[in-house]
Structure 1
Amino acid sequence: MTGERRRSSDPTPNRAWNEALDALEGDVLAAEQTLARDRAEEIAAWGRRSTDWIPPSGLGPLPDDLRERAARLLQHQLAVAEDLVERITQSRKQRDVAARMNYGPSRPVASFIDRGL
């Protein structure tokens, strides 16, 4: 019991985890702001991110008193990720439809017919 108490009251793991969770929350809020601005290219950029989050070294196990915060953050991340995927998919569909639409002739069309008499 004493070891467990000392671990949960030790501020170092909590501080490191709080900083990591703060950084993740910042990313989620930035993604939400991007969605709110409704700029297709910015939204698409989130879809092109190719790096996964890598926990800082030496982070250790998640302290029990931060589990609820981490769980809420995870749910928030999943909701925002779902919104991003939906918006990216919509944008791609719109782009595909626009590409297929014929906005004008692809070759010159005669504007008159010259008939020989």
Structure 2
Amino acid sequence: MTDWRSAWVDALDHLEADVAEIEELLRADQFLRETPPSDAWAPPEGIGPLPLDLRPRADRILARQLAAAEAIARAMAGNRRQAALTSKIELFDSGAARPAYLDQAI
């Protein structure tokens, strides 16, 4: 009997984690919608060309920017997958009877 209860606790833990993840995505999405977009970066006027000794640092920064952009793209794709999954959740608001579980051991 304990295994049956544990299985349900695990199943509900997974569902709850999924919902928490979706709620966090929604909070992040709302933050992004409320945050004004930043302007594209341009070097300040009149500073001249990039010194050669700073080129490795600039390259590292560029690599980090590209990695961050890739991570954002993956997160957006994950968000789309999550949205597709959540669209399949039945909300039971159609008036149809909801399933009930009965412990017949009692």
- Structure 2 length-normalised TM: 0.50
In structure 2, which of residues 28, 38, 60 is the aligned counterpart of residue 42 of structure 1?
Answer: 28
Distance change in 2, residues 1:110/1:95 (3 Å): closer
Displaced runs of 4+ in structure 1, greater than 6 A?
A: none
Aligned to 1:109: 96
Give TM-score, length-normalised by structure 1. 0.47
Opposite residue 58 of structure 1, the aligned amino acid is: G
SS of alignment partner, residue 87 of structure 2: helix
Unaligned runs of 5+ in 1: 1-38, 112-117
Shift of 1:70: 0.3
Indicate how the Cα distance of structure 1 residues 110 and 101 shifts in structure 2: closer, same or farther if over 3 A, else same.
closer
The two structures, once aligned, show a CA RMSD in angstroms of 3.0
Question: What CA deviation, in whole Å up to 9, does each residue of 1:58-109 have, x standing for no partner?
Answer: 232111110011011111111121112111220222023202332324x223
Question: How many percent identity over aligned positions?
Answer: 34
Q: 5 Å matches for 1:1-117?
A: 39-40=24-25, 41-42=27-28, 45=32, 49=37, 51-105=39-93, 107-109=94-96
SS of the residue 1:104 aligns to: coil
Greater percentage in helix: 1
Q: How many residues align?
A: 71
Note closer, same or farther for the CA distance 1:110–1:62 as it changes in structure 2 (3 Å cut).
closer
SS of 2:48's partner is coil
Following superposition, the deviation at residue 50 of structure 1 comes to 6.1
Q: Which runs of 5+ in 2 are unaligned?
A: 1-23, 99-106
CA distance in 2, matches of 1:89, 1:51: 24
Q: Which of 1 and 2 has greater Rg?
A: 1
C-alpha separation in 1, matches of 2:80 and 2:50: 38
Q: Distance in 1 between matches of 2:97 and 2:63?
A: 60
